[in-house]
Amino acid sequence: MGLTTHDPRPETYDTSALMSFLYFVILIGVLIFVHEFGHFIVAKFFDVKVLRFSIGFGPAFWSYQGEETEYVVCILPLGGYVQMQGSDLESTEAMPEEEQKRSLMAKPIWQRSLIVLAGPAANMILPVVIYFGFALFQVTTPAPIVGQVHADGPAAEIGMQPGDMITGIDEDSVQYWYQAQRTLSASYERELTLTWERDGETHSAAVTPEKHTSTDFLGLIQEVRGLIGIQLGSYGPTVALADRDGAAARDGLHFFDHVIAIDGESIDRFDQIKTKVQQSGGEPMEFIVLSRSEIPVEYADLYHQDARRVTVTPNEVDGEYTLGIEEAQMYLTRVDEETAASEAGLKPGDKIVALDGRAYTSWSMFTERIQNQVNEKIVERDEAGEDYDIEPSFELEFERAGERHTVTYKPKVLTYKDETQQTHYRIEHGWDNFGDFVSPEEVNHPLGDRLIYATRLGVEQTWEYTHMMMVGLVRLAQGRIATESIGGPIMIGELAAEAGHAGIEPFLRMLALISINLAIINMLPIPVLDGGRLLMYALEAIKRGPISFRTRQIATYIGIALILLLMVYAFKNDIERNWYRVVEIFETE
């Protein structure tokens, strides 16, 4: 049986397949070139003669003979090498004395070590450059304007409000949101002096960021940071009726009405409504709102919106004007049957108030708390080497028709395996809220500030991903990450193609991640890898003499065997993941 020459799929498939292969070649080619160029440039710096610079293995399809180095591109883009003169002691000793001076083994151990280290170092520099470039070309950045202030947080306790602009922390001025975020995050449980502006007036108060820990379910990303209960980005002008007998309810506003204008002025954020109400002097206000109505279909939750004009006259309470409305984000818009939410007795229209005694006015912080607590339980169980179902339980407080209720809430933790047999977890709540968030205000980011920011961000992001991958290797050795997740060229090709089709930025980000991965793998103390060569140099330094030929030969054989086994296993995983495609091809016969 032979494969048919007719492809029933559209011609665009061939183009897509060709582009996918091209993305793979570009990604692998860049990674190999950067790695080998690191070795090459440092070898040249220490006057080591380089005989060949090769990208790929096997027969060459392009070559160029330089003054002393042959530059080659081979047909198998699965690696590369820099062939240096005198790479082993025996060949060096057989050379004329003049040639020996430019041999690798004639150089001091520290120089040889730097030459070997330069390859992985180049792979670590590449993501720094990529992340630096992304940040450098962002000509604007969020202003230090508070979008939301969370209930019971340190910021609420000192009287901060949405719309406040942070201008200083201790003796340092603040111009951008990331400056405030970085300082607060690093200063948990340490008192700071926070300065902000509101309506042209300057306010200042002492605040102590709370310590907040978070983790993913594998423990790859574990963070400890300080929070004062502020959030970038405002909640939109979608309203809920906090007072069922208030002015808004009396005059015709409904739950989840989206305010688009008041007295002819456009409204984009909820805090703008509050400001307009206070400025009204108690006079009637003309609202233009979008009211939503459910479309009765079985296959989805669909709604349509109708524009309405509503005249609302604020009430005066304790010297302030109010409509009896609040942000809608903590109100449930949907509760599914036979889910954790329905079993707890929750219903659409209920307002989530607190979790385990802690009040919440931010839906994202509320759900993050549940997710993080579940992740911590999973990490704790796996680190103990135990096997049991995760059954979280929380004390949930909610409000219904003005009355407070407290229930025990037990979300369901579902498990599933992906195509690499890695276990994942999903929390099933069976509820939904009304998300309406407004992007933060951006300000100009001058080049000088951008250079400093981009440099720092490039290094920080590279280190974060490096640390995550190193922890991932430990988790792999512990059996907490499935060995089926180890992939070879086919997986890399799939990732490159997916990222390439998504655009230049996703492709470069994927390039950066695989470059970090390549650097870490090459630093493993396995003979024939860079890490193994550094180990041999370290032993040579300890011994104060060269390692015997027999020892180096055995180490090389072991290293080659280990690498071959790893490659075979990676290919096996690639084939098993894509076996259904092979079956599909034969089934079209």
Active site residues: 36
3-class DSSP string for 423-459: EEEEEECCEEECCCEECCCEEECCHHHHHHHHHHHHH
* Cα distance between residue 242 and residue 351, in whole Å: 9
Q: Which two tokens stand for residue 353?
A: 């108030």
* Cα distance between residue 27 and residue 40, in whole Å: 20
Name the amino acid, one letter, at 310. Answer: V
* Cα distance between residue 501 and residue 199, in whole Å: 47
Full DSSP string of 136-149? HT--EEE-SB--EE
| Strand pairing report for 320-322 and 302-312 | unpaired
CA angle 538/539/545 to nearest 5° reads 110
In the chain, what is the straight-line distance between the N-terminal and C-terminal CA atoms, in Å? 9
Helix (H) or strand (E) holding 177: helix 177-185
Beta carbons of 160 and 207 less than 8 angstroms apart: no
Q: Which residues have a Cβ under 8 Å from the Cβ of 587 and sit 6 or more positions away?
A: none
* Cα distance between residue 273 and residue 235, in whole Å: 11
Helix boundaries (H) for 204-289: 247-251, 270-279
* Cα distance between residue 239 and residue 297, in whole Å: 25
3-class DSSP string for 22-77: HHHHHHHHHHHHHHHHHHHHHHHHCCCCEEEEEEEEEEEEEEEECCCCEEEEEEEE
Helix (H) or strand (E) holding 362: none
The burial of 75, by beta-carbon neighbours within 10 Å (0-12 exposed, 13-18 middle, 19 or more buried), is given as exposed
* Cα distance between residue 45 and residue 515, in whole Å: 24
The burial of 525, by beta-carbon neighbours within 10 Å (0-12 exposed, 13-18 middle, 19 or more buried), is given as middle
Helix boundaries (H) for 222-307: 247-251, 270-279
- How long a stretch of residues is the chain? 589
3-class DSSP string for 298-323: CCCCEEEEEEEEEEECCEEECCEEEC
Q: Which two tokens stand for residue 529?
A: 């890898």
